[in-house]
Amino acid sequence: MRCADYFHKSQTCKDLCTCLTLCSMHKVKHMLKCLPYQSLKLCTVEILACLALRLLYYPVYSTYCESGVLFLFPQGSMDLTSQPCSLKDDSINLKVIDHSGAQIDEIDNLKEELEKWKERLEKAEKQKDELLLLKLSADGKRDQTQDELRKLMDLEEEQCKESMIKKENQEIKREIPKKKMKFTRMENAESDDTFLNTCCLFHIAAKIPFRLQQRQALLTFEEEDVAQKLIRREKHTVSLDNEKIELKAMPVTLETGVKFELHVTISGEKINVSEVPHLPIPDEWIRDKIELNFYKSKQGGGEVKDVRYDRRSRTAIITFLKPGVANNCVKCTKHPFCINEKCFMLSVSPSIEKHLEKFQIFSGISKRTILLSGIQEVEEDEESMQDMIEIHFQKPSNGGGEIENIRYVATGTKLAYFEEDTENVA
């Protein structure tokens, strides 16, 4: 009987195991392909184990069948003296470890983690690009703002310069009031230089301050006799809104004042030069360079009579021979000064001589002004109270007269300034 026919006709596990044992590997594979579904149902765990060992370990193991029981022995080391061991159904304790599935799951997890990190990297790159764009935009706005600020500062500086120039022009171009002149005397001129100079005389008298306290009034009359009469009378009754108050008139004692005469002479032949540069050359050479620089008529100069140079103060005084040259030079306050292939700017100003005369310190009493005290606090405001006091002391029946100036202080203190009156201040 052929093994294949025997396999199909076998119905028990013993017969199946015997068939699988006797057949070769080639025929076992052929029988597995031809095995019907009904025969597969008859297979037990023993048949499946025998089949698995037959397929996997065919080159290594040899089989032995006795009394319908299958025995497996390793080739080359089979022990023929001892009893063979039977196969046991140990499928209950069998543990299947699928390492390939765990590795696949781990690889999938790593791939997912890699994708997440890629997404995070892309987001970080996008944020980095956005921050770079914002930084570039901020830098551009900062540079633009700095340029605008610089332009505004330059514009403000130009406006300040223009306003200063306009102010100076207004002061220079201000109309000088006409003054009547009177011939007084003749003097012999000591030299011709006197006619080239501009001489000015200023009579200066400092204003004398007086502190006016709360609820006090100052009245200055046109006539000295009126003020002196009110001071001698001392107490005065003044009617204010159906109320009578008693005031006290006192003389005004002034603080110390000063007065003097300021004589100013503007030279018509000399000019002052400042900001002369420090140069490692002798003073005589610098003096000659300055003389040559202001000798040029194109720059408003002329023939130079004398040059006095001071290295410490970096200044020089230039005296010209011809009249009018100094006036032409001071029209321009800056003059170029080129030496040793370098160019500097010299400042030019007129030569002014000043001195004080008749300096006097004095103190005295204002003879046309009285101080009123004892004014009580009333509901009237400061201006109304001042008007009522002025009306009372303007009446001749009250011993008053024409008032030149009046000032009343209701609260606090204020300063009043007195000017020199040669006729009334002792």
In CATH terms, the fold of domain 260-359 is: Alpha-Beta Plaits (3.30.70)
Distance between CA atoms of residues 248 and 234, nearest Å: 5
Residue 82 CA to its chain's centroid (Å): 105
Distance between CA atoms of residues 332 and 293, nearest Å: 14
Class of residue 87 by CB neighbours under 10 A (exposed 0-12, middle 13-18, buried 19+): middle
Tell whether the model's pLDDT for residue 28 goes beyond 60: no
pLDDT in tens, 369-382: 888 888 877 767 77
Q: What is the pLDDT of residue 121?
A: 92
> To the nearest 10°, the Cα dihedral for 293, 299, 304, 309?
-50
Q: What is the pLDDT of residue 5?
A: 46
Distance between CA atoms of residues 391 and 395, nearest Å: 7
Tell whether the model's pLDDT for residue 425 goes beyond 50: no
Q: What is the pLDDT of residue 29?
A: 56
Q: What is the pLDDT of residue 57?
A: 47
SS3 for 229-240 is HHHHHCEEEEEE
Query: 366 vs 28, which has greater pLDDT?
Result: 366
pTM of the model: 0.41
Tell whether the model's pLDDT for residue 26 goes beyond 70: no
Q: What is the pLDDT of residue 407?
A: 86
Q: Rounded mean pLDDT of the chain?
A: 74
Class of residue 282 by CB neighbours under 10 A (exposed 0-12, middle 13-18, buried 19+): exposed
Residue type, 167: K
List, in sequence order, every residue forming a beta bridge with 272; answer none if it has no partner: 317, 349
Residue 332 CA to its chain's centroid (Å): 38
pLDDT in tens, 328-351: 888 888 888 887 778 888 888 888
Tell whether the model's pLDDT for residue 23 goes beyond 70: no
Q: What is the pLDDT of residue 122?
A: 92
DSSP-assigned states of every residue in 130-177: HHHHHHHHHHHHHHHHHHHHHHHHHHHHHHHHHHHHHHHHHHHSSPPP
Fill in the DSSP letter of residue 85: P
- Asked whether 197 and 350 are in contact (CB, 8 A), the reply is no
Q: How confident is the model at residue 94 (pLDDT cuts 50, 70, 90)?
A: very low
Q: What is the pLDDT of residue 18?
A: 58
Query: 69 vs 13, which has greater pLDDT?
Result: 13
Query: 136 vs 77, which has greater pLDDT?
Result: 136
Q: Among 46-55, 65-74, 164-173, 226-235, which is the least confidently predicted range?
A: 65-74
Query: 425 vs 383, which has greater pLDDT?
Result: 383
Query: 20 vs 289, which has greater pLDDT?
Result: 289
Cα–Cα distances in angstroms (integers) from residue 133 to residues 119, 123, 138, 139, 354, in the given order: 21, 15, 9, 10, 69
Task: Cite the beta strand spans of 254-402 per DSSP E.
Answer: 257-274, 304-310, 315-320, 334-339, 342-362, 365-373
Q: Which helix (H) or strand (E) is 210 found in, with range?
A: strand 208-212
Tell whether the model's pLDDT for residue 394 goes beyond 80: yes
pLDDT in tens, 189-234: 555 555 577 788 888 887 888 888 888 888 888 888 888 888 888 8
pLDDT cut 90: percent of the chain above it: 5
Which residues have a Cβ under 8 Å from the Cβ of 4 and sit 6 or more positions away? Answer: 23, 27, 30, 31, 34
Q: What is the pLDDT of residue 70?
A: 42
Q: What is the pLDDT of residue 392?
A: 85
